[in-house]
């Protein structure tokens, strides 16, 4: 796959990401609310204040082959 082909698909994948975030937004919890004491050793305070977590049974992933990226068949 050429980089140009991948770049053509990025807006569609970005749209999928935005949709997933919007669907789970009401259950999002700030990272600091989980009480992970050592995260501050690896991430800036501002990053942690602006990061959220949603607990799900399985991590959603887009069907990349359905979006025309056959090279990612094994990922699907």
- What three-state secondary structure class fits 74? coil
Give the pLDDT of residue 20: 94
Task: Of 67, 66, 63, 61, give the one whose Cα is nearest residue 5.
Answer: 67
**What residue spans define the domains of the chain?**
3-72
pLDDT band at 69 (very low <50, low <70, confident <90, very high): confident
DSSP character string of 24-48: HGGG-EEGGGG--GGGGGTS-HHHH
**pLDDT, average across residues 16-27:** 94
């Amino acid at each position: 796959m050429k980089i140009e082909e991948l770049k053509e698909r990025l807006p569609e994948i970005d749209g999928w990401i935005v949709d997933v975030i919007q669907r789970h937004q009401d259950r999002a919890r700030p990272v600091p609310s989980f009480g992970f004491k050592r995260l501050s050793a690896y991430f800036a305070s501002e990053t942690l204040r602006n990061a959220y977590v949603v607990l799900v049974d399985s991590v959603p992933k887009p069907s990349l082959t359905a979006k025309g990226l056959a090279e990612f068949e094994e990922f699907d």
